[in-house]
Amino acid sequence: MMPTVIQIPSPVDPSAEGATPDRASEPAVSMAKAIQLRGFSAWYSAHQVLSAVDLDIAANRVCALIGPSGCGKSTLLRWMNRMNDTILGARASGSLHLHGLQVLSPDLDVVDLRRRVGMVFQKPNPFPKSIFDNVAFGPRLHRQYGRTDLEELVEQSLRSSALWTEVKDRLHRSALGLSGGQQQRLCIARAIAVDPEVLLMDEPCSALDPRSTASIEELIRELRETYTIVIVTHNMQQASRVSDTTAFFDEGRLIETGETDEVFTAPRERRTEDYVSGRFG
């Protein structure tokens, strides 16, 4: 599907940073559905947060981005659906392909990108609306539904985030009455409801208690069959539990990436070993 061409105010200056990739010189995207970064760098004003990252993320797998605070992993995540557009002075260069879209292109339809790339935030952020309206929010933006279709969609979304049985009797009560863990699963359901291809999760369990964390982790493992999932986490155990591949970042550089088992048990780099064994960070 080609994105509709629209003019958007983009923080990326193509002429200066060469962000508009010349298709011919770009390496072919190896898989039809995957995320591929080449020479990706990012700045907040003059401060460089990521430099020259090359990374491949396979489709329908869970990729964990780990590393100490300020290593740039959240920034990378926020570039994948261009959430950084809302931040003044944020810009990036290099190339970032996501399921066939050139994410950094100034001609990209950001609204469509974000429909295809769902995001779950650190702190659960349900809208102060009913549970039903929260899940229906995204679908209503993009399409006009008949009532039964919408009800079915909401139910399916809530089922896929394992929340349906808990909330089916109070769909029209405020979402703010849910517990933290339930709220976060609601946010996942909300993201699922727009039928995304990729799910980005920015430390989705950092504000939750251990039991809610366990249920979200279980959910992530089940969801990878349908979605490509990129998760930022501070919690090493979590990364090893939920992810298939892991990318370790430090000081704005990608230090090491590979199968999660390998990165945790037989890291190639000394810094990775120190970090995953808890010696720093």
Partner 1 sequence: MSAGRAIPIARRLRHDRMLLIACLSATTLAVAVLSALLISVFIQGLSSLDWHFLSSYASRKAANAGILAPLMGTLWVCAICGLIAVPLGVATALYLEEYAPRTRLRSLVQLNIANLSGVPSIVYGILGLAAFARCFGAISTDDPWTLGSPDSLFFLQLPFGRGVLAGGLTLALVVLPIMIIAAQEALRTVPKSLRHAALALGSTRWQVVWKVTLPAALPTMMTGAILSMSRAIGEAAPLLVIGGVLLLFSVPENLMSDFTVLPLQIYNWAGRPQDDFHKIAAGAIIVQLVLLLLFNSVALFIRHKLQRPLQ
Partner 2 sequence: MTAIAARAAAELAQRGRVRGVAFRRFYERLLHFGLLGLTLLSVLTTVAIIVVLVKESGGFFFMEGSEVTFVSFFTGTVWSPLLGAKPQYGVLPLVGGTVLVTSIAGLFALPIGLLTAVFLSEYASPRTRMLLKAILEVLAGIPTVVYGFFALTFITPYLLQPLSDRFGTYNAMGAGIAVGIMILPIVCSLSEDALRGVPQSLRDGAYALGSTKFDVTARVVVPAGLSGIVAAFLLALTRAIGETMIVALAAGGLAQLTANPAEQVQTMTAYMVQIFLGDAPANGIEYRSSYAVAMTLFAITFVMTWTGALVLKRYREEYE
Which positions touch partner 1 (CB under 8 A)? Answer: 4, 6, 109, 111-112, 139, 141-146, 149-150, 152-153, 156, 193, 195
Residue 236 dihedral angles phi and psi, to the nearest 5°: -60, -40
Minimum Å gap between C-beta 229 and partner 1 is 18
**Residue 195 touches which of partner 2, partner 1, none (Cβ within 5-8 Å per kind):** partner 1
> By three-state DSSP, how is residue 232 classified?
strand
Residue 142 in contact with residue 115, Cβ under 8 Å? yes
**Residue 56 touches which of partner 2, partner 1, none (Cβ within 5-8 Å per kind):** none
Residue 143 dihedral angles phi and psi, to the nearest 5°: -140, 160
Nearer residue to partner 2 within complex by CB, 86 or 165: 86
**Residue 118 touches which of partner 1, partner 2, none (Cβ within 5-8 Å per kind):** partner 2
Place of tokens 């609204």: 111
Kindly tell me the burial class for residue 174, based on how many C-beta atoms sit within 10 Å of its own C-beta (0-12, 13-18, 19 or more). Answer: middle
Sheet of strand 47-57: strand arrangement: 47-57, 35-44, 90-98, 101-102
Nearer residue to partner 2 within complex by CB, 190 or 241: 190
Interface of this chain with partner 2, residues 137 to 166, rule: CB under 8 A:
137-138, 141-142
**Residue 138 touches which of partner 2, partner 1, none (Cβ within 5-8 Å per kind):** partner 2
**Residue 156 touches which of partner 1, partner 2, none (Cβ within 5-8 Å per kind):** partner 1
Nearer residue to partner 1 within complex by CB, 77 or 223: 223
Interface of this chain with partner 2, residues 176 to 195, rule: CB under 8 A:
176, 187, 190-191, 194
Please tell me the distance from the alpha carbon of residue 204 to that of residue 228, in angstroms, as a whole number.
Answer: 16
Residue 31 in contact with residue 25, Cβ under 8 Å? no
Q: By CB under 8 A, name the one of 21, 67, 94, 118 that touches partner 2.
A: 118
Selection from 94, 151, 166, 86 nearest residue 121 by Cα: 86
